[in-house]
Every structure is written in C-alpha cells, then in structure tokens.
A and B are shown apart, each in its own frame.
Chain A
Amino acid sequence: MVKITVDGKVLEVDESKNLLEEILSQGEDLPYFCWHPSMGSVGSCRQCAVIEYANDEDERGRLNMACMTAPREGARYSIEKAAKFRAQAIESIMINHPHDCPVCEEGGECHLQDMTVMSGHNYRRYDGKKKTHTNQYLGPFIGHEMNRCITCYRCVRFYKDYAGGTDFGPQASHDNTYFGRWQEGPLESEFSGNLAEVCPTGVFTDKPFSKHYVRKWDLQTAPSLCAGCSVGCNTNPGERYGTLRRVVNRFNDEVNGYFLCDRGRFGTGYVNSDERITVSMTRSAHDAAPHLASTDEARSQLQAMAANSIGIGSPRASLEANFALRELVGAENFYAGISTNELAMSRQILDIYRSRPVNIANIKDIEASDAVLILGEDVTNTAARLALALRQSVRNLGKKMARDMKFPEWQDAAIRQLTMDRKSPLYILSAHATRLDDIAARVKIGTAANSARLGFAIAHEIDSSAPAVNGLSADEKELVTTIASALKEASQPLIISGTGAMSQALIAAAANIATALNGADKKANLALVSAEANSMGLALLMESSDNSLDQAMASNAKAAIVLENDLYRRAPASSVDSFINGLDQLAVLDSLKTRTGEQANLVLAAGTFAETSGTFVNYEVRAQHYYSVFKPVDTIRSSAFWLSDKKLSELTQGCADSISGGAGIATLTPGEGFSVSGMKVPRQQHRYSGRTAMRANINVHEPKQEQDEEGILTYSMEGVSALKDATVFNTAWAGGWNSNQSVFKFQSHTGAALKQATKGHCLVENSVSEKTWSEVTDAEKVTGDFEVFPLYHLFGSEELTANTEAIKAKATSAYIAINEADASKLGLQASDGVSVEHNGAVPYIIRSSIAPGTVGIPVGLKGLNFRDLPAAISLQKATDWATPSEWHAANIIVSDKTSVNAENGGEA
C-alpha cells in the first residue's frame, strides 16, 4: 500500500493496481471507457486523464492516463485539473455519434451518456458531416448499430482476447474503424451476449430484449439465479407489463463475475411462452376431458392424494419445492426423478467433496489455476461460464512472466505481446473435440471409459499410492507422464470433470487425481460439473442412492406426484409409458406443457424461477437464494405453495435443519423483517414510470400494489435505493452511473467482492487431509456396432431454455455425429439420413475427432431421445429420407466439423 494525494485528499492505495482502479475504489468518480476490471488497461480512450505532479513544487504536472499509471508513494495527482482535457477528448469521441439516443436500446443505461454528462460535454460545436457505417446481421442474439461506436475496442478485447472468439474483429483504419464479422452471420461465441454489457454504448444490443424493449428504470427486477445449468450464475432479470423482458448479469465474484453465457442471458423467454401452464386442470381419468380447477380445489386434491402416493422430485425445481414434496409424501416415498446412474453420480460428487482433500473450485479458483485437466466434460456446452474462466486460466503463464519481469498485471496489451501464444497447460480427455481445444496443450479423444482409465493412470503417476492401471500403450504412457508432471509442477492445478459424460468412473478418476495432487502446502482445485441448476440440492435431499426414478417406476405405486419433471427426458419412453399406465392418479406440477403433464389427471400451474423464490445448489454445493421477479397471474403459484401449507421461510429452515451441514441455507437472505430505514427493499427503481397508467385501460381505479407476503422485497418503488444498504443486491445503480458499470460502487474494491451482498453459502466445508482412493473400475464391455456417447448443446439441450424463441433460432433438431471412416463404411452420401436402431432416422454430421466405433448423440434435442438408446447401437443408412424442418447444421458450432456435412440438410 502506498499513500498518494489526489486533489488534496490523501488516499491509501494498492501500488500493484492501476490508478484508475484505485481512484474508483475510493468512491471518486473518474470517467473511463476502454478499461474494464476484468480485462485490464490498454489506455486507448483517453478519458481517464489525470495530472501527475513530479514533486511538491511542481505546478504544471503532466497529463497521464490513470488506467496506465501505477500509483507512486507520496505522489500528487489531480483529477480536476485534467477536466478540460477530458471534456475535449469526449467532444472528439462524440463528433460522429449519431443523434439517436431516443431509439437506442442502451439509452438510460448508457456508459457513454453517463461519461459525457460527467465530463461536461453537452453541445456539438463541430458542424462537419458525420461518419456513418452500415450494420451487420449478427444472429438472433445481438443487434448491431455501428454508427454509435466510439472505438474503445472493448468488444474485440472481450470477444477475441477474453472469450476466445474467432469470427469477430476490427476492420478498416483510423476513423473508419469497424467492428464486426468478416461477413454477416450469427456470432459463434457462446458469450456474445456480454457484448451488450461490455460495449459502453449501443453498438451491440440485446436483440430479443429489443423486440419488447423498455428502459432499464421501467424494469421490475430482483436478485435471481440462472436456472440454465449447474454453475448458478447470479442474474438480474427484469419484468414489465407482466412479461419477463431480459436478463443481465448480477455481479458475484465467486460465481460468475461480470459475465454470463448466452444460454443464461437469452434463454429465459420460456417464461412468457405460449407453452406455459397458466391454470390448474383436473380430470377423472387419463383420457377424460379436463376441466379447470380453482386454486383451493387443486390444492386440496393434491393433498388428498398425497397420503398414498410417491413423490418424484426434480433437479430443476428449488430445494424448498423438493423438500416440501418430501415432507408431503414422506422420505421413503420420495424419489429423485433422475436415473439411477445420475443420482449415483450426484451423490458420488457430494461424497468426493466431503471426503477427499481437495479445494472445491469456484470461478476465481479456476481463473487462478495454472494447469488444468478436463476429464470428459464438454464444459462449454454443459457449464459455459466455467469455459470462459478456463480461457483466463491459461493466461496465468503470461501473468507469471509479467511478474517475473516486474511489470503490473493490468498491462493487458503488454502482457499479450509478451506472452504471444504461450499458455499455461490445459489438457482435455474427451470423446470428441470441444470448443476449448484451441487453448489446449493436448487433446486426447477417447470414450469416457478410456478417459477414466487414463485419469486413474495419471493419479497413480502423481502419487504411487493411488491404484494403478495396467496395459497402457506407449503413447498413452507418454501422455500420462506429460499431464502428471504438468499438474505436479503447477502451483494451483485444477481438475474438471462432471456428470456430462455419464460415467462414474470418470468422476472417480478426477477425484483420484485431485487427491494425488494434495501436498503439504497445496490443495488441488476440483470442479465437478453437475447436470442441472439444482442437481446437487436434490442429491443433498436424497438419503440414499436407492430412490432414483428407475426405482420409482419399479415401485408399483398407484399414485404419483411429479414435481417439475418431464419423465420422458429422464428414462426410456417405453418404461415411462408403462409406469404411467399403471398409475391410478398422476399429479404433475410444472410451468411448461410436457409429455408427462399431458397424461396427468391433475396438473398444477407452477411458477418459473422468475415468479417464485427459492434456493438452488450449484456444482460446488453453494446454496444461493433467488427472489421472485414478479407476481404471475393468480392461478400460477410456486410449487412450494402447492405442496405445503408452510411459508417459504419455514421450508427453507426445514431444508437447513434436515440437510447435514445445511445450516447455511437459512442464512442466504437477511430474513423476514429485514428493512432499510423501516422499509422493505424495492423491486422497482426510483424512476419506475407509468404506475398510474399501466393498468388504467382495464380499470381506471388503481388496484392495490401487489404484495409479497413472504419476501423482504416489495413489488413497488417504495424503499431506499441500494446505495445505502446493498445486503439484497438488486439492480446496480448509482448517482451519475446509470449503466451496469456502477457495480464498482458496491464492491469492496473495484472488481472484488460486493461489500454487503451474500455470495451464497457453500454447504460442504472441506478440511480433509487424509488421502483415500477410488478403485479402478473396469469398463463394462458394451456390445453393439457403435458405442454411444452424449453430446451437449448450449442451445437446445436444456429443457426449459429450449422453449425460448431466440434459443430455438440457434438450436437444431437431433442428429448423430460420427467419424468419417465410419460414415463411408455405412455408405452415407452428403444428404443422407441415418436410421438409428428402433429410433427412427435423423441427419448426421461427420466430425473428424471422434473415435472410430463411437457415435455422438445429442441430449435433449427434438427427434431422438438419448434415454431410449442402449449403450451401443447399430446404424443404417435411412431409406425414404427427408431432412427435418428443424435441422440447422449451421447451428452446430464445432471445430472439427468437416466440410462434407455442411451440405447435409443445411439452412433453409
């Protein structure tokens, strides 16, 4: 820490950070554009100018960019004295800015607007002509309005440098500079949505949001969570006129930092979908005509049948809802609603986290890791935010080089120059090429069983007390030694695996490696990705591995209550059919129409994450609370309401009491009765407009404001803005900082943890030091022509988000992916389909990096149910083949797709 003087104020700042970051951390306002806390400094926008004085006698000083200045002990700076320069700089920036704020989606939360006001520029003196640019079509997610660009280069620095995108960059020169793709087309990166938040002005905007656009201040928001995968990114969804409008990132340094993936950002449109169940229905038999059930009627029917029915929980329902169902039917009648294998894997992960000497890796740990091994998990498609963090981890070599040369870490461009394409090691063992291959040191293609075998071998190589593997080939031995030594040398090695490959052996191997790396002074980072938003929460509620969906279907029960679960996505259709046919009564609680729901004789309209509150437990067993964003129509209630008479807080307390180590669940919210200056926390911003007109067309007499009986938030604008108390951190806003950049006002230090808000609570405290090992399991021999492995799609594999229009535009129907040699063996021609044993015909794509004799089957895409397939299948060229209308080969973005299949089907 050093002492500096800024405009006469003495500040104590960190000399390893840049001056801009430090000045902002002290609560001062200093305009900036190109600097970003996650992306470092390049000093290109000239907005953060300050005067630096040589010594106490110096009166003139010299102009420096704060973001490119390291604070010196005892130095004197002035923000005020450089005000004129900054005003001139922004005047130049604004010369070509179009006169279109009223029709710009960024208006009202625009960093450029804020900085222009802050710099004092308000009148365009230059009366020459403005430069203009044409726009590009950049796909269904991002709108492009190039005229608004101020060439701060943040988009490129995020898209290329930070997120590793390859199809976007700067073009032309000087004041013609253009940011776009080499030709029009959808952006390929899974993180393109962040451009809308990273861009300080309205060049890149949220396209689905623009279709039903309202200003930031008109959105009713609440601290929420992404329900798209197991990472549990913190989000801030916004509602207006009863529909969910958009999702933006909500900062949490340990979970998602400043960024979200596109599934999380654009995948919530299903909340407004026509497929929503909006009323509860009941019927006497499976085939009788349904009739509407009132809230009381539906609830009492459910309670009446609860006594002798089984309950089937869900990994996408909240902890409270699952708990309420367990309470309702009794723990012995409560089944997890996932396959035996999946339940076993979830419990295995819990067991590993509890009993192995590992550090459960959060995003900060991942970003700080300097050697990574990914075991069979397609992280980009199953837990995308982790993939973005992994891209930062390989830069640790460069940071180390910079440290050795004694220049600061925030010198982004300089470090990139220094590092060139040198990276920290990252190894991938996978059944197919993944989107992280470009940063990987080595990629080994092989089945999950084979990857697991190599994993065990690596563990043994690192620590010889780990169980050994026999029969490695010379190539494999060489790979094992390379990976083992890289991991051993690293100061923070990271092992990533997960349930994606559906292999318990793989997870056991990952655990063994992490255990083996455990040394006197270091713990290996271990991240085991689970399948869905609350998979780990569900596993916590299961007392044994016995109560899986398979057991539920074999239980001969006559009545069943299914909680937010489409059984047809979890088990073979034939067994679900026979299970449901054997039932006298089937009650389904869900938000969207599903095949299971269609056969129920009691359907209860359940709220989505946006309409209810609850707790999700993410892949690192971190429990996080999400608050309802808005109140749906009266007939839609939360699953917890349908299942229990208790209040939500009582259910949360119940979870905390019944889960071992779960006491933290009850501390996620400040608790009932929390208030700031005697008022609850408002969901609406202080500028919320139209309150007395929005419902006036229905009735001019205004209804009472919606009440949130259980929450500590209100559906109104009454209350104190978060600046005073951000314990419940809703939308970031600070005076003069209307954009999401204002988040630094709430952070303990710019870019660091939030001052007051909760980060969630990890339910597993790992303080194990003893090493235990998983035994090497021999892979079961599968019989059949092609061994099946799962493929995941960020857009389409997740059940709920797949119902969103924007996601549908980036998704495709089911297909199979095979090796070129296998394709020619089957005699496949360019536009042929492949008929899958007993499961109809689908299109195919050829991928060069798939092991011969294996076939990739996408999970959750329409047209082929992965669960209907055995471990190995036979394939044939399809006869009478017509390409399905929803088949969009162009939406399959993989690095190893060969050109042959581009003609296959293709775009309409």
Chain B
Amino acid sequence: MQFDSFSAFLAMGGYGFYVWLAVAFSLLSLGSLTVATIVKRRQIIDEIKNKHQRIERMRAAEKMENTL
C-alpha cells in the first residue's frame, strides 16, 4: 500500500483534483454508455412487442362484424 491513510489516498500527493477528475470523467462516460446501451435494448424490445400487438388488434378487428 502506497498511502498511509485514506485522506492521503484522496489527496494523491497534492494531485487529488486532477487524478479524481480523470477518474470521474472516465467512470461517468463509460457508465452512461453502458446504461444507454441497456436502456436502448429495452426500448427496442418494447417497440417490437407494441408493433406485434398493434398487428394482432388490427387482425382481430377485421374479423369482427360491423355492428354499426
């Protein structure tokens, strides 16, 4: 272990601001890319399901007798 205490670890020998800024940016950008990819997958699947249901409803409506 290179650091005597947790606060020494945070200070990074005086370079804390720069080091943690780099860490924060990397985590944030990689994290949001991952989340965006997962959310996108959900959206695609929902859209496929919705489209399928719409077609099913249209088919059912065609079979129905005209009651008007």
A binds B: no
- A interface with B by C-beta (< 8 Å): none
